[in-house]
Amino acid sequence: MKLTETLIIKLQKLLSGETIPSSQLKGEWVESLVTDGILMLQINGSHRSYKVVNREAFRLALPEFNEALIDPQKAQEFVNASTSRSSQAVDTGNSKLITIRSCPGFPVNSYEAIQCKLNNTDITIQPPEGSFTYICDWEQFTIPEDVAVVGIENMENFRRIREQRYLFDNLMTSRSFAYQSLCSNPDYKYTRYLFVSRYPQSTDLRQWLKIIPNYYIHFGDFDLAGIHIYQTEFAKYLQGRCSFLIPSDIETRLRTGSRKRYDDQYQRFHSLTSTIPELQSLISLINHYRRCYDQEGYIGQYLRIRR
């Protein structure tokens, strides 16, 4: 049994006499407790739920599945405090009692030197080609006010950022091909870019973007799923302080894009729309040509700017 905050809350509810829907409790440990008569499956029409038959027996049985549950309250404190593996080992001798991310944060990259601060210490972000910098203490990471953040969905694009410099140099001088809200903003003051990745997948990057004032530009695949990711995981939380990168030649590229990718996504995302005219135009182009285009296609290519 791997402990999470959600699971501990459910266990505490069971201990207090509440019922939990059967769909929310899964695993061999559940089946074992039902077999032993400690946990009972209640059926009321189509509704199924679990209820503890004997609370003391339930309390004594839990440590068999995870020794941290000898003290459920202490187990919750471990989770709520994001306790490190080292402190778990000190307290219990077992560093794997609770599932904890040992390496929070996200990688950053840049093809020019950017002076930043990490834990109030000056650091320079300009990794040598073939590498990138990983920021663990992201809550203590700040960047200059003239730096815009570019989120890159694909790790290959992120690693090979120097081969796409032409794309972002053009964005600097001709912002209209990126997004109207970006170029029409009189307060736009960004002259450099810090590139970030969500790999490994977590909400750390988004949480960091929410606490810094810098502008965010999303560079992802040009398909319905990619736009959905931007809308639901970034634009929804940054509220106007962001845009979706739309190169000027995207229509030409979509003409020869992937039909299969479009067909695979259509059932789920066919009703996707946007209130942003430029983004809605991209959605319309994707639906018109019934094709998608992956962002890797921009690695090492030269962008043709429409005049």
Q: Where are the domains of the chain?
A: 5-92, 106-298
Per-residue pLDDT of the chain (307 residues; tens, 9 = 90+): 666 778 878 888 888 889 999 888 888 888 888 888 889 999 988 889 999 988 888 888 877 777 666 665 655 554 555 544 444 444 444 444 444 556 789 999 999 999 999 999 999 999 999 999 999 999 999 999 999 999 999 999 999 999 999 888 877 665 444 444 444 455 567 889 999 998 876 789 999 999 999 999 999 999 999 999 999 999 999 988 999 999 989 999 999 999 999 999 999 899 999 999 999 999 999 999 999 999 999 998 644 433 2
Separation CA 208–CA 300 (nearest Å): 30
Q: What predicted TM-score, i.e. pTM, was given to this entire model?
A: 0.67
Cβ burial, residue 231 (10 Å; 0-12/13-18/19+): middle
Same CATH topology for 5-92 and 106-298?
no
Where does 106-298 sit in CATH, by number? 3.40.1360.10
Q: Provide the pLDDT for residue 1.
A: 63
For 219-272, give the DSSP string. E--BSHHHHHHHIIIIIHHHTTSEEE---TTHHHHHTTSBHHHHHHHHHHHTT-
The CATH fold assigned to 5-92 is: Arc Repressor Mutant, subunit A (1.10.10)
